[in-house]
Amino acid sequence: MALRSPKGTALVCLSAGGLDTARRLAVVLPGSQIHGLAGRADGADVSFTDTMGHIGDLFLAGVPIVGLCASGILIRATAPYLADKRSEPAVVAVAEDGSVAVPLLGGHHGANALAKVCAETLSGVAAVTTAGDLAFGLALDEPPEGWTLANPEAIKPVTAALLAGEPVALHVEAGEAAWLLTSGATFEAEGARHAVRLTHRRVQTRPNELVYHPRVLTVGVGTERGAEPAELIGLVHDVLARHGLAEDAVAAVASLDLKGDEPAVLAAADSLGVPLALFDAATLEAERPRLRTPSETVFREVGCHGVAEGAALAAAGPDAELAVAKTRSKRATCAVARAPKAIVSAGGTPGSLVLVGLGPGGSAMRSPEASRAIAQATDLVGYGYYLDLAGPLGAAKTRHDFALGEEEARCRAALDLAGQGKHVALLCSGDPGIYAMASLTWELVDRTDEPAWRAISIAVVPGISALQGAAARAGAPLGHDFCAISLSDLLTPWSVIEQRVRGAAVGDFVVAFYNPVSQARRAHLEAARDILLTERPAATPVVVARHVGREGEAIAHTTLGALKADDADMMSLVLVGSSQTRSFERAGRRIVYTPRGYAAKRETGA
């Protein structure tokens, strides 16, 4: 029996014994890769040194995992990222000797089947524990994509009835029941005290009836420019309620692309927790034969005879029909279309851009939010070295590599890709908002009237900056007021930089110098040193940090008076203490810190 995973299964082994077992499994798992812990499972397809971080990255990337190791390792590595069981990849723990395979996560997303394949191949036992899966390969609490379970409390009694062979009725009012009928479960109405109902309507749930809502509805909306969000939200929810339609049966809110940046339209989609689908006027005009209330006035204004009805129909597909014709409020309109099948993708969904701070680069110093943003992206944009730092998270992503110096080009490319409906992660070293791409991206959005950019969502995920990483390694030099100054004059005139250094000197700030020295620019660091020396002692502690959190990390200590250009390069950060910064030796390590002032507070009794 062979099993193919769409993303390829990662066979993670931590020892030579696990490596041998992984090789046996690789034969029956086409597309799989063996991941081995360096020094203990050498010879694998992929080598790693940080077990917990590597497994966590694979999990966030949605890669099915078979761990040839203790289940506790897999549990602890994935625990920080457990959020939505509907989207989690399969995670299976397999004993090194192959005696048992345990599906830990994603049982109904391939883990149970994967465990059975592993057990069969290794002549072991698959420890599948889900009752529905054991009986008929069906998980009633995890309907397929495009379906919502309305009353989880009915899972237990209905499952018990099916397992006991009692009659359970099946009522299909919307969507298709194939996923239930092919499961092996038997449904019969005669004498049934329990039931399963598939409906797009609001219903009063009962303890002995499972209710599923297929997402067969789309809500089309239109607004005047500047309409209040509360008005459109109220209209949408009122229309659904008055027509007895379940909000959980809505797959998307849809509108004309010109409305993509309209707060009311965005708020309406958010209020239902569904995507916003946008269509151009030509697409909506193609729906004219199906409109109930075409309008020449609307056509003259925006180029199509109906926004709300047309958008609802376009999002629901060619086989859909209008369930609710255009309904008006003072400044907004709403219509509802119904498709014959559950809608998995409504089309026309705006893309998104997330500016992700990788921190120093290693997964250990990267936030779970950053890892999750990379894992959820379809496209990665950035300097090639930064894209490499994404590691396993970058697998199966479309890469868009840029060279150093192409900062504006990469920001524009990221925005353009998001404007095409892609979900883009623009990767930055350190923090995106500190000498990185966040400010340039917002500047481009501020200064460029690009229609395709209007509807995309843009977010910034922070990362550990170089100054934070360096300070942590050194002790606590940023314990009091500090500032950051880039010594690169490529974008800022030296006269401005010099003025800022003088201000930092007079203000007695701890200073973090970014871009301190390059091959073509060697005088600026020593010039800045001389300015600071006018206001603070030559013995002021200085930390020169290079490649913090990456291979080749080095932390050097010197003093302000002894600091010279040869001490640093473009991969370095230079931290210069204030007049109050202190240093001392502890256990063979030099500690640098800047007092906050608590000693003075203790002395005065304040």
* Tens-digit pLDDT profile for residues 526-550: 999 999 999 999 999 999 999 988 8
pTM for this entry: 0.78
CATH number of the structural domain spanning residue 64? 3.40.50.11220
- pLDDT at 389 (0 to 100): 87
Q: Does residue 121 sit within a domain?
A: yes
Structural domain total, the chain: 5
- The CATH number linked to 555 is 3.30.950.10
* 89 shares a domain with 160: no
Q: What is the pLDDT of residue 3?
A: 38
Query: Can you point out the beta strands (E) in 60-208?
Result: 65-68, 91-94, 100-105, 125-126, 147-149, 168-172, 194-198
Q: What is the pLDDT of residue 95?
A: 94
Residue 599 lies in a domain: no
Give domain status of residue 312, yes or no. no
Same-domain check for residues 493 and 588: yes
Query: Quick one: pLDDT band at residue 80, thresholds 50, 70, 90?
Result: confident
- Where a domain ends, among 187, 214, 241? 214
User: For residue 599, what pLDDT is reported?
Assistant: 64
Assign residue 445 the CATH number of its domain. Answer: 3.40.1010.10
Measured distance CA(415)–CA(285) in Å, rounded: 28
Residue 390 lies in a domain: yes
Which of 95, 129, 163 delimits the end of a domain? Answer: 129
Domain that holds residue 122: 10-129
- Proportion of the chain in helix, strand, coil states, percent, rounded to 5: 35, 25, 40
Domain termination site, one of 214, 242, 263: 214
> Which pLDDT score, from 0 to 100, does residue 6 have?
37
Question: Do residues 545 and 513 lie in contact, with contact meaning Cβ atoms separated by under 8 Å?
Answer: no
- What confidence category does residue 604 fall into, taking pLDDT thresholds of 50, 70 and 90? low
Residue 4 resides in a domain: no
One domain for residues 231 and 328: yes
Whether residue 491 sits in one domain with residue 448? no
Residues 473 and 457 reside in one and the same domain: no
Per DSSP (E only), the strands in 207-312 are 209-214, 217-223, 250-256, 276-279
If asked whether residues 584 and 478 sit together in one domain, one would say yes
End-to-end CA distance of the chain: 75
pLDDT, mean over the chain: 90
Distances (CA, A) of 48 to 38, 78, 310, 399: 6, 17, 52, 22
Rounded distance, CA 3 to CA 191, Å? 40
* Other beta carbons within 10 Å of 446: 7
Spatial neighbors of 197 by CB under 8 A, at least 6 apart, are 171, 173, 203, 209, 210, 211, 212
Q: Write out the two tokens for 15.
A: 């020892």
| Residues 67 and 163 grouped into a single domain | no
Judged against a pLDDT cut of 90, whether residue 1 lies above it is answered with no
The tokens for 70 are 């203790």
Q: Given a cut of 70, is residue 209 above it in pLDDT?
A: yes
Q: Mean pLDDT over residues 555-573, rounded? A: 95
Buried b / exposed e over 411-430, threshold 16 CB at 10 Å, is: bbbbbbbbbebbbbbbbbbb
What single-letter DSSP state applies at residue 361? Answer: S
Look at 41-50, 265-274, 408-417 and tell me which has the smallest mean pLDDT. 41-50
Residues 460 and 405 in one domain: yes
Q: Are residues 182 and 198 in the same domain?
A: yes
Residues 225 and 255 in one domain: yes
Residue at 567 is within a domain: yes
In a domain, 142, yes or no: no
* CATH label of the domain that carries residue 250: 3.30.420.180
Instruction: Kindly state whether residues 538 and 477 are assigned to the same domain.
Output: yes
545 to each of 145, 351, 556, how far by Cα in Å?
49, 38, 6
Q: Note whether residue 533 is domain-resident.
A: yes
Helix-helix angle 368-376:51-60, to 10 degrees: 40
Tokens for 85, please give them.
């069981």
420 and 475 share one domain:
no
